Structure 1
Amino acid sequence: MQLSRHFAISTLAAAVIAAGYAPSVAANDGISDNEIRIGYLADMSGVYRDPIGPLGQDAIEMAIEDMGGSVHGAEVVVFSADDRNSPDVGSSVVREWIDERNVDMVTGLVASSVTLAAVGLLEDADKLGLVNGAVSSSVTNEHCSPNHIHWVYDTWAMSNGTAKAITQEGHKNWYLLSADYSFGHALEADVERVVTENGGTIVGSARHPFPNNDFSSFMLQAQASGADVIALNNAGGDTINAVQTAGEFGITQAGQILAGMVLFSTDIRSIGLENAQGLQFTKAWYYDLNDETRAWAERFRERTGSMPTMVHAGLYSSTRHYLEAIEATGTDDTQTVRQQMVDTPINDVFATGGYIREDGRMVHDMYLVEVKTPEESVDEDDLFRIVRTIPAEEAFRPLSESVCPLVNKG
């Protein structure tokens, strides 16, 4: 059953796991305030509501509950807020959490612009950030820090998986349509790099406002370019609107390929298999990978009424890994916990053999998938087939190309 919640920033409504928001007298001395305090900052009402949004808190709560609700006797407290995709709003929330609530860790962190503002504050305060929603690869490249970890995906991985495969199939001429903010810019740059490295050419590009409801003029420009492939360097509601507009104009029917760079299962349901069939894109996780992922996804659906997205799975995984690090070290000290997380491989419902690099990038396998036809799908959740598993070492930017100051290339 889906829980009803209020995410008003004025109140920063807190969901307290187990015994409520009260200090635990039995907590370990190594845990500050006798509590482990987590802030969940995400878009709760805008274009990223469905793929991440309120249900992301359910994933966090599942991880806490699976740890027994407390660690070393310290209760786990979760604060949540809607950042409205605004760096100013997000910064205000994180600053209050640090100054007034002594939050130990902030997770979610969806829009890249909000994330980059938030992680700067976390570094200044020596708190930890677990980035699950943001896609910009700059998060662990030029903007890396010893105070945050990037968990689910990034623009380097998403573009490398999809653009490389499509270009190598012989579709060489690309048109880039990108969201006009840091995430879209990063994805645009990464797609251009992959296309040109694989012998392709960028024949045109445009940037659209974020968020954007009317894609008519943008899709007409892309159609007129004569490009083999139109890359959608956006996400959430923007991608849905762009794909639906392309369908109205008969773009794919006329032979142009539509390449979504960041797509979620919720997006495909909104678009419908009839319009989305054959679309290839890269995913970090899919519920139907194995028995373990199917079982966890079914728990999530029973709780929320919806199948989890890859970010929901990442929120569960990163939160549990964080709490297990506190359990192992007996403290919530940021750098001690982060080092324990780095030293411990990730083997759970999200990743097998995953690990955290020195730049803060959590490295794991990725998957190139293709949307099934309506005839191939056996139920509303049977959306994709895996075309190729992309090994972890191939999926993410090699450290040899990193400009992160934490990386020792010697």
Structure 2
Amino acid sequence: MSHDRTASYRYRVLTKILTSMAGVLSAMILMTGTAFAEISDGTVKIGIINDQSGPLSDLAGLGSVVAANLAIDDFRKVSPSIKVEIVSADHQNKADIGAQVARRWYDVDGVDMIADVSNSAVALAIQAIAREKKKLVIYSAVGTTEITGKQCSPTGLSWLHDNYNLVSGPVRRLVGQGLNTWFFIAADYAFGRNMVAESEQVLTSLGGKKLGSVFHPLGTPDYASFLLQAQASGAEVVAFANAGDQLVSSMKQWNEFGMSEGSQKPVAELMFLTDVHSMGLDIAKGLTGVTAWYWDLNDETRAFAKRFFDKHSTMPTAPQAAVYSAVLHYLKAVAATGSDDTMTVLEKMRSTPVDDFYAPGATLRADNKLVHDFYLVQVKEPAELEKPWAYYKVIEKIDPKDAYFPLSESECPLATEAKK
């Protein structure tokens, strides 16, 4: 082969290589541009809705907004080019207000994902709208099992707990100790009624007996008649299916009426750290409950708690930690897919285990429950308190297999489809 022909051949080969590389580079640029273009309006918008002024405001409220912003701060460290915005609203524990806010956020304000909610009745209303709009909603302190049961939705995720998680462990433990007769004082809305139903189902399966139940209005200040009915029942256990200010007031009046000196055992079926703080250890001491997270579990949880405290002047509750986790996991999926399309992001969230201090390694199962550990805790005696806010003794860690309603028995259509 002559020198000229050799040079010509090399030139053609080099041209093909450069052309091919240019094509690959152009495709990569186009794919990158398309990915970022798929984030609607150039901004990922997250809505935090909960009770910010009523009886459930301490356990979530503005603290959940703080937690969400801490998640965004951490996300920006690794994905600074993606713009994220938080909006928040107070649903006042009214389903119609919650529904109106959700619809406006989805239809007008361009909200991509709603988190927290913290009220079962409001959650069921928002669930219907999110299903209709094909938008994502991630629940924190929402107890009703309907959310991931009969009324489950492909776009509704339960990140913290449901009533079965909360009652199954304590009921089994106390019945095992011979405390077989129960009376329930519950909040008169979807959460309280569902919690009593779940408790009774577990209690009956173990041979225990419900001697009665009474339901009080949300936020009522006077629990005297309800407590007297519980006392008159003679039940060995009085279980409170309420939370926030309701539980605090119930337990204060329990002590004022001298019931703490009697033989009946009080059980808080839903207890938050802020409830204990409001009661004080003299009143709350000895109360047992189940929690998905506690700030003083390990070095990682304590590090987050310090950051949160510096912003909010309280230690974080389990719902607030769950909001942080849900927001961060969602944003990581947005970054990984380059999109805020609901189903695209949801698929990535499902396929990726949670990687944070809240629930390391946790995954979503078919009925949209995040599966993680729970802890049976007991409130310390005043003399046992070694540092502020360290109110719990962890009695035992509850394995997910013992904490969750069997997926095989779920009434959620998503679970049925997954079995096929």
Q: TM-score, normalised by structure 1?
A: 0.92
Query: What's the counterpart of residue 252 of structure 2?
Result: 244
Higher Cα Rg: structure 1 or 2? 2
Q: Which moved more, 1:263-272 or 1:27-36?
A: 27-36
Q: Aligned partners of 1:324 and 1:231: how far apart in 2? A: 40
2:143 to 135, 143, 147: 135
Q: Aligned partners of 1:35 and 1:73: how far apart in 2? A: 10
Query: What's the counterpart of residue 265 of structure 1?
Result: 273
1:120 to 112, 118, 128: 128
Give 1:409 shift. 3.2
Query: What's the counterpart of residue 354 of structure 2?
Result: 346
Query: What's the counterpart of residue 367 of structure 1?
Result: 375
Which SS does the other structure have where 2:76 is aligned? coil
Residue 152 of structure 2 aligns to which amino acid in structure 1?
C
Give 1:252 shift. 2.5
- Give matches, 1:148-297, under 5 Å: 148-297=156-305
Q: Aligned partners of 1:70 and 1:57: how far apart in 2? A: 21
Give 1:314 shift. 0.2
Residue 124 of structure 2 aligns to which amino acid in structure 1?
L
Residue 311 of structure 1 aligns to which amino acid in structure 2?
P
Q: Aligned partners of 2:174 and 2:281: how far apart in 1? A: 20
Is structure 2 residue 411 aligned with structure 1 residue 409?
no
Q: Aligned partners of 1:354 and 1:186: how far apart in 2? A: 25
Q: Aligned partners of 1:300 and 1:159: how far apart in 2? A: 29
Give 1:71 shift. 4.6
Q: How many positions carry a matched residue from both structures? A: 386
Q: For structure 2, which runs of at least 5 residues remain unmatched after alignment? A: 1-32
Give 1:243 shift. 0.9
Query: What's the counterpart of residue 18 of structure 2?
Result: none
Give 1:393 shift. 1.9
Give 1:251 shift. 1.4
Aligned partners of 1:28 and 1:73 also within 8 Å: no
Q: Deviations over 1:259-301 (max 9, x none)?
A: 1011101100111111111111101100111111111111111
Give 1:77 shift. 1.0
Is structure 2 residue 310 aligned with structure 1 residue 302?
yes
Aligned partners of 2:35 and 2:338 also within 8 Å: no
Q: For structure 1, which runs of at least 5 residues remain unmatched after alignment? A: 1-24
Is structure 2 residue 343 aligned with structure 1 residue 335?
yes
Tell me the C-alpha RMSD between the 2 structures: 1.5
Give 1:161 shift. 1.9
Give 1:397 shift. 1.1
Kindly report structure 1 stretches of 4+ aligned residues shifted beyond 2 Å: 69-74
Q: TM-score, normalised by structure 2?
A: 0.90
Give 1:379 shift. 2.3
Q: Deviations over 1:38-57 (max 9, x none)?
A: 11111000011111001110
Query: What's the counterpart of residue 152 of structure 2?
Result: 144
Is structure 2 residue 108 aligned with structure 1 residue 104?
no
Query: What's the counterpart of residue 11 of structure 1?
Result: none
Aligned partners of 2:239 and 2:269 also within 8 Å: yes
Query: What's the counterpart of residue 326 of structure 1?
Result: 334
Measured at CA, do residues 117 and 70 of structure 1 come closer, stay the same or move farther in structure 2, by a change above 3 Å? farther
Query: What's the counterpart of residue 18 of structure 1?
Result: none
Q: Aligned partners of 2:404 and 2:165: how far apart in 1? A: 5
Q: Which moved more, 1:163-172 or 1:68-77?
A: 68-77
Aligned partners of 1:363 and 1:393 also within 8 Å: no
Measured at CA, do residues 126 and 71 of structure 1 come closer, stay the same or move farther in structure 2, by a change above 3 Å? farther
Give 1:302 shift. 1.3
Aligned partners of 1:177 and 1:231 also within 8 Å: yes
* Identity over aligned pairs, percent: 39
Q: Aligned partners of 1:212 and 1:45: how far apart in 2? A: 15
Q: Aligned partners of 2:374 and 2:380: how far apart in 1? A: 19
